Structure 1
């Protein structure tokens, strides 16, 4: 199974919890989302299940990928208050046989990354607009092993 974590692109500043869910992408964030959507569309498996936080900034981030005919589901269970366990449950990790892309927020995305790839940190810093690709593979009869397959930044995407 592949678990792909996509943090929303750069958004307007927010002041309180209610306003937080209504934050929109900045013009820079829209460009970041378009770049990452282009890259993701070229590498995501066709059967990838995509779950998106209901916050406006995550939906706007996903809109760039939706324009490329990628279907997705709004998933309240991965909203701004979600924990790492909430995200893993939504993805059905590690039991799902399909790839799952979660479009969400810090710190929960960073907590998922840390929980799966490093035993010494409680959180990794997933930067705005970045994608962390985590995979599980069978290795030489040792059972399933979890690996960090890639970290991609909008700044590294050549074309959008």
Structure 2
């Protein structure tokens, strides 16, 4: 299985009058999302399922990809790594899954799948971490296929 973790791009700062879930992407965030989406669209298989948190900033980030996506209410900012892995059907899904979400759960998933330990890794805004699994000598092994930030994918 392949799991691509995409942190939402830069969003507006929160304020008292606006719920966190309503925070939209900044102009810089829109550019970050567009740059990463262009790269992802070139490299993602057509069969990739795209799942996103219901927040405005994650939906805007996912929309930049121009592919169908499913909004998953239980993938919000307070989700756990285990909830997200369950939604992605890790490790049994036959198709790649792209999760558009939040810190800290994206970093926690990356740490857990790569090291087998719970840890607090950080994915920068707009960045992806692509994790793949292979079977070698009858043992499942997870590895990082790519880590990419929007500042590294063209202009």
Q: TM-score, normalised by structure 1?
A: 0.92
Q: Does 1:34 align with 2:34?
A: yes
Q: Does 1:116 align with 2:113?
A: yes
What is the alpha-carbon distance in structure 2 between the residues aligned to residue 52 and residue 120 of structure 1?
A: 25
What is the alpha-carbon distance in structure 1 between the residues aligned to residue 75 and residue 88 of structure 2?
A: 10
SS at 1:37 equivalent? helix
Q: Does 1:131 align with 2:132?
A: no
Unaligned runs of 5+ in 2: none
Unaligned runs of 5+ in 1: none
Structure 1 outlier segments of 4+, above 3 Å: none
Q: Does 1:5 align with 2:2?
A: no
> CA shift at 1:119, angstroms?
3.8
What is the alpha-carbon distance in structure 2 between the residues aligned to residue 4 and residue 138 of structure 1?
A: 18
Contact 1:113 1:123 in 2 (8 A): no
What is the alpha-carbon distance in structure 2 between the residues aligned to residue 47 and residue 123 of structure 1?
A: 30
What is the alpha-carbon distance in structure 1 between the residues aligned to residue 38 and residue 96 of structure 2?
A: 18
Q: Size of the alignment, in residue pairs?
A: 154
Please tell me the root mean square deviation across aligned C-alpha atoms, in Å: 1.3
Q: TM-score, normalised by structure 2?
A: 0.95
> CA shift at 1:137, angstroms?
0.7
Q: Which residue pairs with 1:156 in the alignment?
A: 152
Residues 1-160 of structure 1 aligned to structure 2 (within 5 Å) = 1-15=1-15, 19-66=19-66, 70-120=67-117, 122-139=119-136, 141-159=137-155
What is the alpha-carbon distance in structure 2 between the residues aligned to residue 119 and residue 33 of structure 1?
A: 30
CA offset digits 1:117-159 (Å, max 9, x no partner): 12455121110000000000112x2322100111011001115
